[in-house]
Amino acid sequence: MNEMELVSVAEAMVAEGKGILAIDESAGTIAKRFKAINIESTEENRRAYREMLLTTAHLGKHISGAILYDETIRQSTRNGVSFVQVMQDAGIIPGIKVDMGAHPFAGHPGEKITEGLDGLRQRLEEYRALGARFAKWRAVITIGENIPTTSCVDANAHALARYAALCQEADIVPIVEPEVLMDGAHSLDESFEVTEATLRALFNQLYEQNVLLEGTILKASMVISGSEATHRASVQEVAEATVQCLLNSVPAALGGVVFLSGGQTDEEATAHLNAMNLLADFPWALTFSYGRALQAPSLKVWGENPAANVAAAQKKLAHRARMNGLAAMGQYEESFEAA
Ligand code: 13P
């Protein structure tokens, strides 16, 4: 394990005014996104879409790294330049999703456990050779009647720590992502309680399993009202609750914190990030690792005419990257959206 390299990659991932572009949708998820815009999910369409995103001019100005899927890290532009090369040339660190998805947790109706530890050491070695310098593993925690159970939270935390230790052995920075889902009618307080318990379990396991925190990035879900809650918390309330929850449960030594968007609208996700960064000084950078909230406007425009709308779709992505880059420094204003 090269500690110095891990720490410097982690620092670069959360460099000032930059965040991560998550384009690691699995085959099933990208098919769902394409279906919504009437695009068939063929390998060529997936390749063309990701080429459009990754070749956006000056993307590296606000994007420090991008998370790829197994298929994507092996793909190239139409002109035959590998995506990894395109990213390296743009100063964007290649990352890779390595989990094998969240599956039903046996004996626990309504809950999920993330799989993918078998053979992970060998897969990490291959990804490192392909150019990956960081990885992602997503665990899913669902809020509902009598869930999450402690056993689900603990089993997922244990797997996240096993994954993180294997990553660091391979000189790959682990992004640990315990996503507390926004789905449901739960309150801000319930989201706080579950998120805090999840983070405490996770950091306990990272400690138990000798994971270097300075070379690890947390991908957190915000403390937010459920999407079907009757009284949804304001931007300021979400920002304050999220920061308080992190301060309660995340060690100061951690390399950095990035957020997922989890179904928030693109502008909502930006406003929340900005409000957090206006609050105070924290021991870690707070920035973004958005999937939908960075891609949505771009995907929509591209889908209307993939052959003709590449430049227009790239403009949409560049705009969202800039808005979120500003939000990561607490310098975003809603009026910039119109500009
Ligand atoms: P969203 O921002 O769309 O939630 O995706 C981020 C991600 O990578 C989830 O694992």
- Average predicted confidence (pLDDT) for the chain: 98
pLDDT above 90 as % of the chain: 99
* pLDDT at residue 280, rounded to an integer: 80
Domain ranges within the chain, ordered by starting residue: 3-328
Work out the average pLDDT over 330-336: 98
The confidence band for 108, taking pLDDT boundaries of 50, 70 and 90, is very high
Q: Please work out whether the CB of residue 260 comes within 6 Å of at least one atom of ligand 1.
A: yes
On whether the pTM is more than 0.85, the answer is yes
Gyration radius from the chain CA atoms: 19
The CA-based diameter of the chain, rounded to the nearest angstrom, is: 53
The verdict on domain 3-328 having CATH code 3.30.70.270 is no
The residue nearest atom 9 of ligand 1, judged by CA position, is: 260
pLDDT above 70 as % of the chain: 100
Smallest CA-to-CA distance from 73 within 1, 123, 117 is with 123
Distance between Cα 266 and ligand 1 center (Å): 12
Give per-residue pLDDT as tens, 114-137. Answer: 999 999 999 999 999 999 999 999
Give per-residue pLDDT as tens, 252-285. Answer: 999 999 999 999 999 999 999 999 999 988 999 9
Question: Active-site residue 219, yes or no?
Answer: yes
Question: Active-site residue 35, yes or no?
Answer: no
Would you say residue 178 has pLDDT above 80?
A: yes
Work out the average pLDDT over 318-324: 98
* pLDDT at residue 269, rounded to an integer: 98
Q: How far apart are CA 97 and CA 99, in angstroms?
A: 6
Distance between Cα 233 and ligand 1 center (Å): 21
Would you say residue 232 has pLDDT above 90?
A: yes
* pLDDT at residue 331, rounded to an integer: 98
Q: How far apart are CA 147 and CA 6, in angstroms?
A: 35
Point out the catalytic residue in the list 177, 179, 196, 316: 177
Q: Which stretches of the chain are DSSP H helices? A: 3-13, 27-35, 43-54, 83-89, 120-130, 150-169, 188-208, 235-249, 266-277, 292-304, 310-327
Distance between Cα 336 and ligand 1 center (Å): 24
